[in-house]
Amino acid sequence: MTTGRARMLWLIAVLLSFLLPVIYRNPYHIEVVASAGLYAILALGLNIVVGLTGLLHLGYAAFFAIGAYTYALCNVHLGCPFWVGLLPATVVGGLCGMVLGIPAIRVRGDYLAIVTLGFGEIVRITFTNLERFTGGPNGLLGIDHPTLWIPGRGIYDFGVRSVPYYYVIVVVMWLVAVGCLRLSGSRIGRAWAAIREDELAASCSGINIARLKLVALGVAAAIAGLGGAIFAAKQGTITPDSFDFILSVMILAMVVLGGLGSVPGAMLGALVLGTLPELLRGFEQFRMLLFGLVMIIMMRARPQGLLGNVQIRRELLVRSDTA
């Protein structure tokens, strides 16, 4: 795919995402697409760890929870507004990702998956047991929705409307996508790809393996923390059950389905898996069965993911240009 054609496709996708609420006004369907957009933000973050760096991460929902609870606690106990609360949620999520990375980078493969899985469960159980601060199993209630000052109209409260959250999620999603694209094409991104392909060869070529793994885990966790803050503000209430192991597996499935290492693939995988259950709602009794069958067929027919070949060709092109 030529650069000009790729840019045109990106432009069309951006325009369609912003025009969707204008063209199609069904609030329920806008809500479904907004949720898929939130999944896309998480998939883009996890793609940095799993797709670009090659680290199997099974506890990514933990950082989503950390960001959500960070914003919720700041808002409920300190009165921190949404737009300000995005910063501590992102920073705390990123710092926790690096803290996890310190012991995690010492192991590889299946052992790394077990460590991250354990961390995800520890975080969820911790939020459940800290009832004095987090509300325990009942969660935190009364989280303020975002507000926005509009000239001539005053303060606009998002409330429970779908469209304002949709636009916030779309803007954040595209900003994260641009950042991920820039990272994947940078020296850091190429170093991550080298670690994924052959860690020993990357180390012999002078790449600081430990530092770059920590950076990957920190950036991915910061993106999840940002998504968690948006989720908490949108829901108005959060409970530990919203951040279970199934969510981590679902996000990982989105990354794998779209194509490991592919930024547009992660977004497409999130859109497909985020909307497919709703598309199958007419087959309510067999919905999850059909969902699983679709996943099995896709992985059998195209194991490299929906856009996996595109990513491989792009990496080969970059390598040939720098050779």
Q: pLDDT by residue for the chain (323 residues), tens digit each? A: 556 777 888 889 899 999 999 888 888 889 999 999 999 999 999 999 998 998 888 999 999 999 999 999 999 988 899 999 999 999 999 999 998 888 888 888 788 888 899 999 999 999 999 888 888 888 888 899 998 888 877 788 888 888 999 999 999 999 999 999 999 888 999 999 898 888 888 888 888 898 999 999 999 999 999 999 999 999 999 999 989 888 998 999 899 888 888 899 999 999 988 888 787 777 667 767 777 787 788 777 777 777 765 555 555 455 545 54
**Can you give the pLDDT at residue 317?**
52
Residues 6+ apart with CB under 8 A from 178: none
Tens of pLDDT, residue by residue over 125-164, are 999 998 888 888 888 888 999 988 888 777 888 888 889 9
Flag whether the pTM goes above 0.85.
yes
SS (H, E, C) the chain: CCHHHHHHHHHHHHHHHHHHHHHCCCHHHHHHHHHHHHHHHHHHHHHHHHHHCCCCCCCCHHHHHHHHHHHHHHHHHHCCCHHHHHHHHHHHHHHHHHHHHHHHCCCCHHHHHHHHHHHHHHHHHHHHHCHHHHCHHHCECCCCCCEEEECCCEEEECCCCHHHHHHHHHHHHHHHHHHHHHHHHCHHHHHHHHHHHCHHHHHHCCCCHHHHHHHHHHHHHHHHHHHHHHHHHHHCCECHHHHCHHHHHHHHHHHHHHCCCCHHHHHHHHHHHHHHHHHCHHHHHHHHHHHHHHHHHHHHHCCCCCCHHHHHHHHHHHHHHHC
**Can you give the pLDDT at residue 100?**
86
**Can you give the pLDDT at residue 185?**
85
Q: Report the topology of domain 3-322.
A: ABC transporter involved in vitamin B12 uptake, BtuC (1.10.3470)
Tens of pLDDT, residue by residue over 252-268, are 989 988 888 889 999 99
Task: Give me the residue spans of the domains in the chain.
Answer: 3-322
Exposed/middle/buried for 127, CB within 10 Å: 0-12, 13-18, 19+? buried
Cα(192)–Cα(25) distance, rounded to whole angstroms? Answer: 42
Q: Strand 147-150 and strand 154-157: pairing?
A: antiparallel
Ramachandran class of 144: left when φ > 0, alpha when ψ lies in -120 to 50, beta otherwise: beta
**Can you give the pLDDT at residue 228?**
95
Cα(114)–Cα(170) distance, rounded to whole angstroms? Answer: 33
